[in-house]
Amino acid sequence: MITYTDIAADQMICLQCGAPLIKEETYSCAACHKDYPHLHGVPLFVSNEEEYIAGMAKQYADFAQQKEAELGELEQAFENRPLRQVYWQQLRKALSGNNELIGTLVNMLCERASPAALLRTKSSPVTAAVLKDFQYLKRDWCWLEEGELQLSEILGPLEEVINEAISDRENILVAGAGVGRIAVELCGYFEKVYATDLSFSMLWFFQQLLKGASINFHEINYANILQDTYVARELTASYHAPFSGYTLPEVNDKLFCYISDILHSPHKDGSISAFCSAYFTDVLALKLLLPEVKRLLKPGGVFIHLGPLGYGFEDVGEKLAANEIRAAFIRAGFEVVREEVIRCNHLESDLSMQTVTLKNWLVVFRKMEYVQQPIVDATIFGVCEGIKYEVRGRLEEDIPMDQIMIRTADGEAVIIAELAFDILRFLATPQTFETLISHLDSCYEIEAPSMIADVLLHLESLKVINRI
């Protein structure tokens, strides 16, 4: 039987030096021996654990403090409101219960945080993250009609896309997996599921559920309620049979959940079959996410986006529309496989007078496989349109080679050496491979034409030259 730790070890690499990781009690690098400890049972793959733990501890402590202060203020506000006591008592119980749970997380993190790192850590404003945990626990693991309906509305089309358009099912990386229900459902379609998130609490809750534990918390609805008793309701999250039908041992065999920043993920280049970005693409600027997606995916691997584009960051310059995201993927060498819009109501409940309808964009981009055609003497090459270059100075004093920056029509920058630059100069008018070799023979000592062929294939893969 494969255990999830074996699954992880064969694919993961050190964030510091890129060598493979080995699994003993925890993970460590086979080459530089960097350790990747667990944080309360959740594997932690970040370059600086001290900083990560202190940052999280501070964030949750600030959040807990803010919630305690809010409770104190409400206590005063409701003091002389005898007619609102049903609402207030219900709300107070819910807020205190949730604060207790947040307090547990703070204690767990502070226990592992180094005092020096805590002192160095500044307060960050991202404290709303904890509230999102409760929202996702409610949708994913409380087995409420509204959560299951919403999940079935989005997972049905996702399942169809996987069945029709994705043949390589070796593995899937679920980015920003949250409390993991979507990742669990994907176990039905992929041999290995990597569920990763930057949030300790999301994955700690997820891991508790995977161990068979229950989590009690409260949903709070301050407004849009028909009855004062609806202001809060106690919910229990627990693992039951999901749509995929997978039992806990089956899921634990297939799925590996770990903390990491998706922008620095511990996987080899070209090792991922599918990258799932459900309600996640709008969390980070695409200019940061796309290069990592491209690095991780195998040739022919797919990126699946599911969700609206609400954007959780401030920079308006990076809030791309769907067509701009599509164009960016195409420029980066992807093709569109499927695209549709799926409507669903977000946790529509009888308790609330408000319904939010989401129009989820479901799109699948495939990373195109670059198939190298062999080069023969008569193969004609020319320089692609829109190529610009600039000389950026000498590489090294004693090597007579300039560092030359080529800019492709897509705006991508490529550094090449002088030999490649000479090739480009000569190919300004298209030439056969044979004439190119005889031209270069007069200026360089070319040991074998295959060496030039390799340079040409590389320039071709970079879209700097093409065949005519």
Ligand X SMILES: C[S@@+](CC[C@H](N)C(=O)[O-])C[C@H]1O[C@@H](n2cnc3c(N)ncnc32)[C@H](O)[C@@H]1O
Residues that bind ligand X (CB under 6 A): 129, 136, 175-178, 182, 197-199, 202, 261-263, 278-280, 283-284
Position with the least CB separation from ligand X: 176
Q: How far apart are CA 183 and CA 196, in angstroms?
A: 9
Nearer to ligand X, 203 or 404 (CB): 203
Count of beta carbons in the 10 Å neighbourhood of residue 174 = 28
Nearer to ligand X, 91 or 276 (CB): 276
- Torsion region of 76: left, alpha or beta (phi above 0 gives left; psi -120 to 50 gives alpha): alpha
Nearer to ligand X, 30 or 263 (CB): 263
Q: Letter for the amino acid at 422? A: D
Question: Cα torsion for 58, 236, 92, 81, to the nearest 10°?
Answer: 140
For residue 190, the minimal CB distance to ligand X (Å) is 16
Nearer to ligand X, 129 or 436 (CB): 129
For residue 266, the minimal CB distance to ligand X (Å) is 12
Find out whether 401 and 394 touch, Cβ atoms under 8 Å. yes
Nearer to ligand X, 230 or 258 (CB): 258
For residue 394, the minimal CB distance to ligand X (Å) is 38
For residue 284, the minimal CB distance to ligand X (Å) is 6
Nearer to ligand X, 95 or 177 (CB): 177
Nearer to ligand X, 263 or 428 (CB): 263
For residue 201, the minimal CB distance to ligand X (Å) is 8
Find out whether 342 and 153 touch, Cβ atoms under 8 Å. yes
For residue 254, the minimal CB distance to ligand X (Å) is 18
- At 447, is the secondary structure helix, strand, or coil? coil
Q: How far apart are CA 11 and CA 196, in angstroms?
A: 14
Nearer to ligand X, 198 or 406 (CB): 198
- Find all residues with CB under 8 Å of 115, minimum gap 6, and list them: none
Place of tokens 């919403």: 150
Nearer to ligand X, 204 or 230 (CB): 204
For residue 177, the minimal CB distance to ligand X (Å) is 6
- Find all residues with CB under 8 Å of 49, minimum gap 6, and list them: 36, 37, 39
Q: How far apart are CA 268 and CA 366, in angstroms?
A: 18
Nearer to ligand X, 200 or 365 (CB): 200
For residue 263, the minimal CB distance to ligand X (Å) is 6
Find out whether 37 and 44 touch, Cβ atoms under 8 Å. yes
Read off the tokens for 385.
């349109």
Q: What are phi and psi of 383, to 5 degrees?
A: -85, 135
**Chain centroid to CA 208:** 22
Q: Which helix (H) or strand (E) holds 30?
A: none
Q: How far is CA 409 from CA 251, 278, 463, 465, in A?
A: 46, 31, 9, 11
* DSSP states along 150-207: HHHHHHHHHHHHHHHH----SEEEEET-TT-HHHHHHTTT-SEEEEEES-HHHHHHHH
